[in-house]
Amino acid sequence: MTINEGADFLKDNPGLRAIDAILPDINGVIRGKRIAPEMLKKIYDNGFQIPASTAMLDVTGDDMDPSGVSLAKGDPDVTARPVPGTLAPVPWAVNSTAQVLVSLFEDDGSPHRFDPRHVLARVISRFEDLGLKPVVALEQEFYLLDPEGGRTGSPQPPIIPTTGRRASGMQVLSISDLDGFADLLDQISAACTAQNIPVGPISSEYATGQYEINLVHTDNLLSAADQATLLPRIVKGIAATHGLDATFMAKPYMNQSGSGMHIHASVYDESGNNIFSNGDDAGSPSLHHAIGGLLATMPESMAILAPNVNSYRRFKPDTYVPINRTWGVNNRSVAIRIPGGDDANRRLEHRIAGADANPYLALAAMLAGIHHGLTNRIAPPEMTTGNACLDSDPGLPIQWGPALLELENGKILPDYLGQDYCKAYVSCKRTEMETFFSTPSLKEYEWYLRPDC
């Protein structure tokens, strides 16, 4: 950590009113504390105390004491410390505000095992032991919404500022759709620059009001997850200044495309060689072993990659969302795609995770699969060349309950993410699932609250 990082920032931002010290919980929801600028030096020197349960709250913000890791132990505090390089302004804030990402540590200085950032770090260390360095890039999709919603409270597309008309139709890669929200998208890019988040292309996607932002490739995997965690905060913050909502919900519209978080990955050896490259479009044996590991761990990973009830609404036939354990070259219907292009930059694209997944955990699960495949030299099944989105795979859980059961009984992923972490994750999510299904839906009343039922 740069010893003067906080002091230098305060010197460069004399009118600062507050600083948000933030971290993501198990769901990727941003939690934290707002502090006065004069407290920044103390935080950089000593950190600050925060309940350990913060990292394991359910999606509503409630502490369900998963596996007895918080309330049963008296909900002890842990120490939150700034993540170097993440102190940055918040351009969309009404008052002059900054933010800094923090990570959790025990009193003895050891990483808090339930902090998702440390879960990812443990998986990364496995590659360091092999002398290998993964390079990754994440792509995140989201929807812009009219905050008024539909007449039934359901989402509806926004009004396009340049035309005054409501967005409609599926305009894939439409430049005019980008033009319609050019100011908003430009401000998102500017905010990313202000927060040291390098972004690549921005494109309109396969549905009304849906967009995708690509983050750039990096070998700093923790930073990649940091950036993917902070990006939704930027998008939602900037959208709000334009009178709009933004959502990274996996499937806000049942009749339109879901929102995913695609992860691109390659792996380099100590000499800087891409071990996935061998002059063939289908990649090297190492790439095939990585794919084999990803497909082998995919059933156990589903509860991480699709973390809530809405997540599983993405997995429908013929929607460019994988519903089976398949792979292929330049084929968007498969679960693991090998994109075309320069052989020296040969990589795989993991297409399962939803935009609602916690980036640290999704990246950790993906890297675990790659490592498992490389170290065990797992051969993948035969490559798919046609449409892989027709028939679902009975071995791949595409419903919430079975996915949680797969992780609970997992033999591979808990070894990477931590047995205690996976147990607490399943406990938290199962309680969330039971709570969700304990409340009758409007559809239940519509169908069953009738005299003839």
Do strands 210-215 and 348-350 pair parallel, antiparallel, or not at all (unpaired)? unpaired
Residue 139 DSSP SS3? strand
Within a domain: 451:
no
H/E element holding 210? strand 210-215
Q: Within 13 Å, how many C-alpha atoms sit on residue 11's CB side? A: 5
Q: Are 136 and 124 in contact (CB under 8 A)?
A: no
Q: Are 314 and 251 in contact (CB under 8 A)?
A: yes
Which residues have a Cβ under 8 Å from the Cβ of 193 and sit 6 or more positions away?
Answer: none
Within a domain: 88:
yes
> What residue ranges of the chain have pLDDT lower than 50?
1, 172-173
Number of domains in the chain: 2
- Is residue 108 domain-shared with residue 254, that is, in the same domain? no
For 228-274, the pLDDT digits (tens) are 999 999 999 999 999 999 999 999 998 888 999 999 999 999 999 99
For 30-85, the pLDDT digits (tens) are 999 999 999 999 999 999 999 999 999 989 888 877 767 666 677 899 999 999 99
- Is residue 33 domain-shared with residue 149, that is, in the same domain? no
Of the residues 63, 92, 112, which one is the last residue of a structural domain? 112
Q: Which two tokens stand for residue 396?
A: 């791949």
- Is residue 51 domain-shared with residue 195, that is, in the same domain? no
- Is residue 210 domain-shared with residue 248, that is, in the same domain? yes
- Is residue 26 domain-shared with residue 144, that is, in the same domain? no
Exposed (0-12), middle (13-18) or buried (19+): which is 278, by Cβ within 10 Å?
middle
- pLDDT in the model for residue 2: 56
Q: Which two tokens stand for residue 24?
A: 């993501």
Within a domain: 431:
no
Within a domain: 434:
no
- Is residue 96 domain-shared with residue 161, that is, in the same domain? no
Q: Which two tokens stand for residue 404?
A: 């949680």
CATH assignment of the domain containing 84: 3.10.20.70
- Is residue 343 domain-shared with residue 228, that is, in the same domain? yes
- Is residue 323 domain-shared with residue 404, that is, in the same domain? yes
- pLDDT in the model for residue 178: 64
- pLDDT in the model for residue 389: 86
- pLDDT in the model for residue 182: 85
- Is residue 142 domain-shared with residue 230, that is, in the same domain? yes
Q: Are 335 and 298 in contact (CB under 8 A)?
A: yes
- Is residue 100 domain-shared with residue 249, that is, in the same domain? no
Tell me which residue range forms the domain holding 28: 5-112
CATH assignment of the domain containing 361: 3.30.590.10
CA distances (Å), 52 to each of 76, 78, 118, 151, 337, in order? 6, 5, 14, 41, 38
Of the residues 112, 135, 164, which one is the last residue of a structural domain? 112
Within a domain: 54:
yes
Residue 9 DSSP SS3? helix
Within a domain: 450:
no
- pLDDT in the model for residue 173: 45
Q: How far apart are CA 273 and CA 71, in angstroms?
A: 48
In 351-443, DSSP assigns E strands to none
Pick from 133, 91, 98: which is nearest to 9 by CA? 98
- Is residue 147 domain-shared with residue 99, that is, in the same domain? no
Q: How far apart are CA 316 and CA 254, in angstroms?
A: 10
